[in-house]
Amino acid sequence: MTSLHEAIQAGIEAALLHHERAGIVAPDQRRGLATGGPDHPTIRLSIQDVARVAARAAEQWASGNTRPHVRW
């Protein structure tokens, strides 16, 4: 069985990959998950996005579904 932190991590990684591949950025955000490294960071997921993904993964994990599904 997948642990809760693994389910959240998988959901965040899937969302970050989706946003990066789609070229989605969060230019108005100062905090979040970014790509591009320390020299040229591009925020892909805001803190609010991360919280949404974590809440969804936690709900699915609690109901026995350990494979997070990211819906955008």
Domains in the chain: how many in total? 1
| 55 belongs to a structural domain | yes
| 32 belongs to a structural domain | yes
> pTM for this one?
0.76
Which tens digits make up the pLDDT trace of 34-67? 888 888 889 999 999 999 999 999 998 888 865 6
Which tens digits make up the pLDDT trace of 3-43? 889 989 999 999 999 999 999 998 888 888 888 888 888 99
The pLDDT assigned to 38 comes to: 86
| 35 belongs to a structural domain | yes
| 72 belongs to a structural domain | no
Residue-number span of the structural domain to which 27 is assigned: 4-62
Mean pLDDT of the chain: 86
| 68 belongs to a structural domain | no
The pLDDT assigned to 2 comes to: 73
Is the Cα torsion angle 16, 65, 7, 28 positive or negative in sign?
positive
Please report the DSSP string for 4-24 in residue order: HHHHHHHHHHHHHHHHHHHT-
